């Protein structure tokens, strides 16, 4: 029903008063001082939101009924209107921290955050959310190549950056499984620092670890003891670095084995300590390889080729590889040089490089 001209001002005052009373009631219910949860936020005392809104609705209804029943209350409503208007600014004059309170819903969320149940992995999601999910490929339970694990292993990724050839290591199942169990920071980092201290350069670490991947199974303290042993035998630090670069498996052998090898060459070849040390520095695989070829070649030089002991000493100190040369190639080359070219023994002793040459008729 349309309002008359006399009822419009009455209705307007009633609506204005109702909005002011509602604001006052809401401020009274929701902006009470309380304990601080976070910096700049204040938690209100726990009250029943249902009771608060019931009281607010009741008072609003009561106010509206009074103004609809009598026109005489218009003047008192104007007084109340001015009173409420004067009270509202005082309610808004809260401390600076209280003014930062965003809403009652935010405080309720902060208080009951711990009480919220965790999201279930079986909770249904929309198709749009499902499309946005980027899942990593599953880790294969078994594989014949380390390539399938590189994306999931920080250790393998850093070894690749160092230049390690994983395709060669994966041919050895035990070594590949060992790398998958190692942690770069705990198990590999200290080993790399040790190798750099020994004398392996950064650009040599990849090739070294590709050949001697078994060094990761060695105890770091034992490796340090072996280096200390070599230094105690008057090998310089540069000598040790050169030996380790040429024979990557050198440090994998125990101190007892290294000592036995040095003693064997010194005794078998009747060399001095200095010459024995120079011999293994130039050909460190004498300490890591098999002794059978060495023993066999010593017999060939004495019995088949007819060299004297001192002549053998001179030749092997000049060309250490003569100790590990292939027996068949050695005899064929000597036969051509001595019997076909008629070069005597004493000339061959002065120029033992004949064993490194290939001769064709």
Q: Collapsing DSSP states into helix, strand and coil, what is residue 267?
A: helix
Q: Please say if the pLDDT value at position 360 is more than 70.
A: no
Q: What one-character DSSP code corresponds to residue 100?
A: G
Q: What is the pLDDT of residues 113-156, one digit of tens each?
A: 555 566 666 778 788 877 777 766 665 666 667 777 788 888 89
**In contact, 229 and 253? CB cutoff 8 Å:** no
Q: What is the pLDDT of residues 148-198, one digit of tens each?
A: 778 888 889 999 999 999 999 988 888 888 888 889 999 999 999 999 999
DSSP secondary structure of 25-43: HHHHHH-----BSSTT-BP
What average pLDDT score do residues 5-20 get?
Answer: 50
**In contact, 268 and 228? CB cutoff 8 Å:** no
What average pLDDT score do residues 203-224 get?
Answer: 94
Tokens describing residue 91: 């309610």
Q: Please say if the pLDDT value at position 77 is more than 90.
A: no
Q: CA-based Rg of the chain, rounded to a whole angstrom?
A: 46
Q: Please say if the pLDDT value at position 354 is more than 80.
A: no
CA distance 43 to 58: 26
**In contact, 271 and 265? CB cutoff 8 Å:** yes
Residue 149's CB: how many other CB atoms inside 10 A? 19
Could you give the C-alpha distances from 101 to 19, 217, 336, in angstroms and in order?
22, 61, 102
Tally the C-alpha atoms within 13 A of residue 104's C-alpha that lie toward its C-beta: 15
The pLDDT of residue 175 is: 87
Rounded to the nearest integer, the mean pLDDT of the chain is 74
Q: What is the pLDDT of residues 272-331, one digit of tens each?
A: 999 999 999 999 999 999 999 999 999 999 999 999 999 999 999 999 999 998 889 888
Q: Does the pTM of the predicted model rise above 0.85?
A: no
The pLDDT of residue 147 is: 79
User: By CB neighbour count within 10 A (0-12 exposed, 13-18 middle, 19+ buried), where does 346 fall?
Assistant: exposed
Question: Using 50, 70 and 90 to split pLDDT, how confident is the model at 92?
Answer: very low
The pLDDT of residue 141 is: 64
Could you give the C-alpha distances from 76 to 6, 88, 261, 345, in angstroms and in order?
18, 18, 116, 138
Q: Please say if the pLDDT value at position 21 is more than 50.
A: no
């Amino acid at each position: 029903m349309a309002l008359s001209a006399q009822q419009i001002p009455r209705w307007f005052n009633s609506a204005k008063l109702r909005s002011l009373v509602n604001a006052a009631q809401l401020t009274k219910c929701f902006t009470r001082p309380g304990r601080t949860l976070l910096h700049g936020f204040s938690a209100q005392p726990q009250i029943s939101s249902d009771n608060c809104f019931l009281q607010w609705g009741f008072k609003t209804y009561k106010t509206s009924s009074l103004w609809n029943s009598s026109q005489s209350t218009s003047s008192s409503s104007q007084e109340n209107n001015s009173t409420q208007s004067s009270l509202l600014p005082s309610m808004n004059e809260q401390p600076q921290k209280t003014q930062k309170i965003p809403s009652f819903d935010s405080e309720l969320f902060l208080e009951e955050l711990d009480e919220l149940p965790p999201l279930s992995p079986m909770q249904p999601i929309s198709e749009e959310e499902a499309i946005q999910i980027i899942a990593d490929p599953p880790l294969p339970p078994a594989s014949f190549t380390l390539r399938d694990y590189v994306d999931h292993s920080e250790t393998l990724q850093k070894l690749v950056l160092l230049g390690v050839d994983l395709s060669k290591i994966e041919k050895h199942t035990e070594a590949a499984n060992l790398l998958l169990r190692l942690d770069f920071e705990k198990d590999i980092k200290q080993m790399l620092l040790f190798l750099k201290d020994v004398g392996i350069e950064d650009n040599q670490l990849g090739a070294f670890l590709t050949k001697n991947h078994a060094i990761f199974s060695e105890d770091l303290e034992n490796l340090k003891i072996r280096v200390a042993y070599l230094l105690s035998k008057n090998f310089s630090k540069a000598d040790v670095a050169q030996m380790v670069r040429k024979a990557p498996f050198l440090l994998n052998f125990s101190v007892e084995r290294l000592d036995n090898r040095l003693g064997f060459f010194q005794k078998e070849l009747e060399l001095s300590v200095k010459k024995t040390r120079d011999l293994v520095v130039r050909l460190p695989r004498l300490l890591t390889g098999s002794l059978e070829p060495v023993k066999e070649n010593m017999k060939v030089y004495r019995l088949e080729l007819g060299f004297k002991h001192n002549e053998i000493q001179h030749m092997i100190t000049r060309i250490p590889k003569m100790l590990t040369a292939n027996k068949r190639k050695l005899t064929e080359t000597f036969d051509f040089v001595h019997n076909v070219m008629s070069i005597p023994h004493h000339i061959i002793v002065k120029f033992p490089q004949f064993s490194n040459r290939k001769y064709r008729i």
